[in-house]
Amino acid sequence: MSLMGYDPLVYFTGRAPLEAAAQGISLGPDDWAVRCNLVTIATQRMDDFTAGHVTTAEATELLSAAQRGLAADFPELAASWSFVPGVSYRNLLLHRGTGAASPFDGSLRATPPHDLLDKTVSDDFPRGTGSRLLTEIMSRSAAWLEGHPVNKARIAAGKHPATHVWLWGVGRAPAMEPFATKYGRSGTMITAVDLLRGLAALAGWKRLEVPGATGYLDTDYAAKGRAAIAEFASTDLVCVHVEAPDEASHEGDCAAKVKAIEEIDAKIVAPLAAHLAAAGEHRILVCPDHPTFLATKTHSRGSVPFVMAGSGIAESGQATYDELSAAASGARIEPGWTLMGEFLGTKSGAVS
């Protein structure tokens, strides 16, 4: 959200509402969305926050079982709560408000499962208003999923089963100003991740689905690069999002992370830079949205390095793109959401 030029302190209401927008799900003023991971927990430890990258088809079957379990164990919730399949392990639990008291408020805090990999989950269940209900659903889900044919088949194949649902990222629908109004430019998002699809939908960007884009290490980098080049015939700004380095970091796989960065450089950045340079005036920006350290296998706060080049961009004298070179340049853009204005040459965010 910050990289797209929106102040998260103003616009961010939770992760799940963004993913609901990606699926074209409209949330009313009394509705809530909850992010629902299918995870693998053993002896109170988060063994896998992706349930072995469970397939979308498998996840759909498992969530159907979870919905039946919810209706059986919590009959009073059956009319207003529903599990909604997304992509792989990334799914949703929706609450449709009925005019009664809201189940949540601003006090609710829930830990993302990717922050708990290889750690105990005993002290990291949701807290705040509505947390007891979410914790009960998470706990009961073990019985709903245990022995499911999908899990039996995964175990037989040597894969992690989906032992629980993990609920987090709770929020209501945000109201985002259209990007074209805010910055005077049209945009296209190329991604395989619902979070980015949702941001694009709420900003009024086109969402381009690229065959072979998986949101994982096996994504088709070259296809994304080709799609971005073709898209410039009809749009002002293209964002190519690649999840692979983040996934490699979560897995603690250094070689995979290096390989992902090399693939991005060779098959996306290089052809895009060459195409834009040949086309005339242009700008290109390369930037991660947050640090994910291999040592911790989880997201971290803090500054990230960016490289911006093209028309009207003065050279800084740095020869490489990395954290040390970025720090040595002396250039900092804070807060982060103002980077988009700098990139477009509008600085304040107003249309130039």
Does one domain contain both 115 and 45?
A: yes
Does one domain contain both 207 and 159?
A: no
Q: Does 202 score more than 50 pLDDT?
A: yes
Report helix, strand or coil for 98. Answer: coil
Closest CA to 11 of 131, 167, 171: 171
Give the pLDDT confidence score for residue 311 in this predicted structure: 94
Burial per residue of 228-267, b for 16 or more beta-carbon CB atoms within 10 angstroms, e otherwise: bbebbeeeebbbbbbbbbbbbbbbebeebbeebbebbeeb
Q: Does 103 score more than 60 pLDDT?
A: yes
Q: Does 314 score more than 60 pLDDT?
A: yes
Does one domain contain both 48 and 143?
A: yes
1 within some domain? no
Residue 196 to residues 222, 304, 334, Cα–Cα distance (Å): 19, 19, 22
Does one domain contain both 326 and 263?
A: yes
Torsion angle, alpha carbons of 329, 333, 336, 337, to 10: -140
Give the pLDDT confidence score for residue 308 in this predicted structure: 94
21 within some domain? no
Give the pLDDT confidence score for residue 350 in this predicted structure: 40
Does one domain contain both 31 and 115?
A: yes
Domain extent at residue 36: 27-171
DSSP assignment of 200-224 equals HHHHT-EEE--TT--SSTT--HHHH
Q: Are 275 and 229 in contact (CB under 8 A)?
A: yes
Give the pLDDT confidence score for residue 142 in this predicted structure: 97
Q: Does 92 score more than 90 pLDDT?
A: yes
Give the pLDDT confidence score for residue 351 in this predicted structure: 37
Does one domain contain both 156 and 190?
A: no
Burial of residue 311 (CB within 10 Å: 0-12, 13-18, 19+) is exposed
Sorting pLDDT into bands at 50, 70 and 90, what band is 347? Answer: low
Q: How far apart are CA 142 and CA 151, in angstroms?
A: 12
pTM of the model: 0.83
Does one domain contain both 208 and 273?
A: yes
6 within some domain? no
Tell me the β-bridge partners of 298.
Answer: 293
Sorting pLDDT into bands at 50, 70 and 90, what band is 302? Answer: confident
Q: How far apart are CA 344 and CA 331, in angstroms?
A: 17
Sorting pLDDT into bands at 50, 70 and 90, what band is 106? Answer: confident
Does one domain contain both 188 and 133?
A: no
User: What integer is the mean pLDDT of 69-97?
Assistant: 94
Mark residue 20 as left, alpha or beta (left: phi above 0; alpha: psi -120 to 50; beta: remaining): alpha
pLDDT tens for 3-33 read: 999 999 999 999 999 999 999 999 998 999 9
Q: Does 65 score more than 70 pLDDT?
A: yes
Does one domain contain both 136 and 262?
A: no
207 within some domain? yes
Q: Does 254 score more than 70 pLDDT?
A: yes
Query: For residue 22, what is the enclosing H or E element?
Result: helix 15-22
Does one domain contain both 135 and 229?
A: no
Q: Does 227 score more than 90 pLDDT?
A: yes
69 within some domain? yes
Q: Does 322 score more than 50 pLDDT?
A: yes
Sorting pLDDT into bands at 50, 70 and 90, what band is 141? Answer: very high
352 within some domain? no
Does one domain contain both 275 and 294?
A: yes
Mean pLDDT of the chain: 93
Domain stops at, among 152, 171, 190: 171
Domain stops at, among 171, 194, 221: 171
User: What integer is the mean pLDDT of 84-97?
Assistant: 94
Token pair for 218: 């096996």
Does one domain contain both 137 and 226?
A: no
Domain count for the chain:
2
Domain stops at, among 144, 171, 198: 171
7 within some domain? no
Sorting pLDDT into bands at 50, 70 and 90, what band is 232? Answer: very high
CATH, residue 193: 3.40.720.10
311 within some domain? yes
Q: Does 348 score more than 70 pLDDT?
A: no
Sorting pLDDT into bands at 50, 70 and 90, what band is 72? Answer: very high
